Amino acid sequence: MIDKIKNALANFITNNDEEEEDKKIILFDASMLKEKDDAEEPELNMIGLFADVVEEKIADLVHAFLYLNEVNKLKEKEEDKKPIKFYLSTYGGSADDMFALYDTMRIIREDTEIHTIGLGKVMSAGVLLLAAGTKGQRQIAKNCRIMIHTVMGGNQGNLHNMLNEMEAIEQLQEMYSDCLVAETKMTKSRLKKMLERKVNVYLSAEEAVELGIADIII
């Protein structure tokens, strides 16, 4: 039964339909490339997000994280449990969908280590997802660019609608800042000063480690 679920999930996550090439979420394990005994099956423990943070992709990722966590919880020995390796390269996207995945990661890392690996660019919503990995297991490639900015939004209509939108954006910004401060070495005042100084704050891999967004440069 577990094998059937695993195969179904792998097909669902990787989405082999050629007509939907924009779905770039990957569930993969390097051990699949190694020779193995017929009785020993590789376990899928790698997930990748190489796209914007949008609802349909985040839904797939949430399912993958929850599944891999449940697989680990079924194992009796701690040494048999495998960390989830989460590779990401993204320009960012929806704040609401970012929080959906962030909260999933935050909850399951109590049971399963999450190793985050930033490649290429990790921007906007992606920064919190990179920082949400297990402390000490958050990696960033030496040529990866980090970019932080304030929560963005837009609305048209009467003054009342625009004021409501502004209030909602301020609440989202407060939530984002609180979460980023909780996951990094940044204080709220330092983060506020950074965001007030520039519209988009670009950081090198070294600066990301210094600020506690990541732990290791690879």
99, 102, 103, 104 alpha-carbon torsion, rounded to 10°: 120
Query: Which DSSP letter does residue 138 get?
Result: E
Query: Which DSSP letter does residue 202 get?
Result: E
Each residue's pLDDT tens digit, 82-136: 999 999 999 988 888 999 999 999 999 988 999 999 999 999 999 999 999 999 9
Task: Specify whether 89 is catalytic.
Answer: no
Give dist(CA 46, CA 26) in Å, integer: 7
Q: What is the pLDDT of residue 110?
A: 87
Task: Specify whether 189 is catalytic.
Answer: no
Active-site choice (63, 94, 149, 204)? 149
129 φ, ψ (degrees, to nearest 5): -65, -40
Domains and CATH numbers, the chain: 2-30+39-217 (3.90.226.10)
Active-site choice (124, 177, 189, 204)? 124
Over residues 66-93, the mean pLDDT reads 89
Over residues 63-92, the mean pLDDT reads 89
| Buried/exposed code over 133-163 (b: 16+ C-beta within 10 A; e: otherwise) | bbeebbbbbeebbbbbbbbeeeeeeeeeeee
Each residue's pLDDT tens digit, 158-205: 556 666 667 777 788 888 889 999 999 999 888 888 888 777 889 999
User: pTM score, two decimals?
Assistant: 0.75
Each residue's pLDDT tens digit, 31-52: 444 444 444 445 568 888 988 8
The token duo for 158 is 């009467």
Q: What is the pLDDT of residue 5?
A: 46
- One-letter amino acid for residue 37 of the chain: D
Give dist(CA 148, CA 122) in Å, integer: 9
Q: What is the pLDDT of residue 156?
A: 54
Q: What is the pLDDT of residue 85?
A: 95
The token duo for 160 is 């009342």
